[in-house]
Every structure is written in structure tokens, then in C-alpha cells.
Chains A and B, each alone.
Chain A
Amino acid sequence: MTPKQVLDVELGPNQSVMAIMNETGDKKTIYDRTDPVQVEAAKAEFKVYKDKGYMAYKMLDEGKRGEILHSFDPTAERIVFSPPMRGGYGPY
């Protein structure tokens, strides 16, 4: 099976990626969904960011809207984290 482009990185057949938005754009963690050790590490990282108030989204195929993740989904192929949202200026 050829690698496929997911979240602007090429993934192997059993690989998943977590993209965590940060000041450099994002930090990507790639892990093998079939490797329990890697999945556990990804789960731990997921928890770290959730505890910081980040919002996690499970991304679906191109064009389909994502889903909010409240807990780690080991089947998710791509997860995007965004820092906590806050209300900005206004009313203007």
C-alpha cells in the first residue's frame, strides 16, 4: 500500500498523525495504530494537551467536517489540536 497524504504528511497504512497547533505552525506526532506502545504514548500526549485546555478534533476525509474528541480515539487517523479559544475584542 502506498503512503497517503494526510494533514500534509505522508502516512503509511497503519499510521496516524496528531497535529498540535503552536507558534511554529504545528507539531506533528506520527504513531502506528497497531503498536500498543506508540498508541499509549500518543494517548499520553493527547491527555497532556487536553489537560491544558486544547480542543481536539478528529479529521475525516477531505471535505467532511471533523468531530470533537473528548477522549483519545485510537482509530482516528488524524487529530488536530487547537489551543483554547477566547473571546476577543468587541463589540466594536
Chain B
Amino acid sequence: MALIDSCPGPQGLGGLQATAQGRSQQYALGQIGECYRANQQTATISSQVVYAVDPVVYAVDPGYTYLTGGPYYSSVNFTPKAIPDPRIAAEERFYEEERARQRLHRVEVTARAESLLLSALNPIQAKDFRTTREFTVISKDGKRTYRITYGIAGNVILIEKGKPVARYCIYPIGIPIEDVMLAQKLMLETDEESFIRIANRTPIRGLERVVLVAA
């Protein structure tokens, strides 16, 4: 319906070539009282006029009456309303669908990983995990106790005499958190020496210790 064109009016504003009641008219884009035409008469837009000021697309609804006629261009007394550019709308729809798909994917992945983890925990650990998202693991020789907290890095805590004394950072890459926790548990229970050798160890002192004990 509408063509972008330049307005040859006195202000030299950008304008719009549109058709109203079968007549081709030209008016300024969103400018009120800036473009004039002599011998004013009224005209009514017969169908929706759509024009673009990149990247926004505006529309003038049918039925809008405006002044026109003469060698100069009339003022255009409307407030343009933005309507979505079909290209942008399609792009936004695509990204929204993609985000929804990824959210669903994350939920499925987490559920699968949690299911695998729970299938490998004993009933006490499973109950603990369901309640606190953490569980306790006893080393293979039964001498040390570790608390695996929900996370990937630095989430394995060595407990001695009921108090946290060190934090271990060790993990496989590219798998969900629950799988990481399971990998840490399996390694601690079967090959603690390698676990300690590979992991980075950070002593827990001061305030962090107080906070962890309180928790």
C-alpha cells in the first residue's frame, strides 16, 4: 500500500507515498504540521497505511481524515502507532521457541541425570540428596568422610570430627551437575588416592568454616 518517498514540502522532510480514496498522496512521516499543501481539503485514508522508519514499522488505520491538496503538502495529524515488523516478529518468535526448547531440554537433562544419581545412592544418601541436594560419602577404607554438595567446582568437602576441613575441586567436563556429583562419589568410593592427587585442595578456615559448621 505505502511507499517510502521523500517529501518535497518546504521542510524537506522524509515523506510517505500512500493512496487514500484512490488518490495518491504524500505526507511526512510522523511529523505534525511540518509539511504543507495549499488549497486544503480533507481526505480519508481508505485502507491501512503502513510505513517504516527502520527498524520500526508504523501504521495509520483506515478512516483517518487528514488535510490535503494544493502544491504544498498537508500536515499529517496522526500519532503513528508501532506495529511489529513481520521479519522482527518472526525472528523473536524463533528465539522464543528456541528458548522454550532449551528450557525443556534442561529440565529433561536434569531429570535424567538426577535419576541416574539417585539410582546409585543408598537410601540414606538418596533421602539426604532429596532433602538438601547434598549427600555424604565414606572413603573406601572407611576412614574419611566427604560431603558432596550441589555443584561442580570445589563442592566436595572433607569432614573431620564433624567439621569441614578442606574443599576439593575436581570434576569431569560437559555433563550435568548431578552426573558430576555421581562421578565424584564413584571416584571417592573406589579410587580415593587418584581423587586426592588430581583434585585441587583448599583448606577451610575462619569464617567459611563457621558458616559451614552452622549450616
Instruction: Write the residues of chain A forming the contact surface with B, with a CB cutoff of 8 angstroms.
Output: 5-8, 19, 21-26, 55, 57, 59, 62-68, 80, 82-92
The size bracket of the interface on B is 35 or more
27 chain-A/chain-B pairs, Cβ below 8 angstroms: A8-B119, A21-B116, A21-B179, A22-B174, A22-B175, A25-B176, A26-B116, A55-B186, A57-B186, A59-B120, A62-B123, A80-B116, A82-B182, A82-B183, A82-B187, A83-B175, A85-B195, A85-B198, A87-B198, A87-B199, A87-B200, A88-B200, A89-B153, A90-B200, A91-B200, A91-B201, A92-B167
Interface of A is mostly: loop
Q: Is B146 an interface residue (CB 8 A)?
A: no
Q: Is B53 an interface residue (CB 8 A)?
A: no
Contact A83 B172 (CB under 8 A): yes
Binds A, one of B40-48, B73-81, B107-115: B107-115
Q: Given A23-B109, A24-B112, decide whether A90 and B154 contact each other with a Cβ distance below 8 A.
A: yes
Of A64, A85, A87, the most chain B CB neighbours within 10 A belong to: A85
Given the complex of chains A and B, what is the CA–CA distance between A19 and B182 in angstroms? Answer: 12
Name the one of A21, A25, A64, A67 contacting B183, with C-beta atoms under 8 angstroms: A21
Query: Which chain A positions have C-beta within 8 A of B183?
Result: 21, 55, 82-83, 85
Given the complex of chains A and B, what is the CA–CA distance between A80 and B178 in angstroms? Answer: 14
Given the complex of chains A and B, what is the CA–CA distance between A85 and B186 in angstroms? Answer: 11
Contact B140 A25 (CB under 8 A): no
Query: Which chain A positions have C-beta within 8 A of B203?
Result: 91
Query: Which chain B positions have C-beta within 8 A of A88?
Result: 152-154, 169-171, 199-200
Contact A85 B187 (CB under 8 A): yes
Contact B171 A7 (CB under 8 A): no
Q: Given A24-B109, A62-B122, decide whether A85 and B172 contact each other with a Cβ distance below 8 A.
A: yes
Contact A67 B116 (CB under 8 A): no
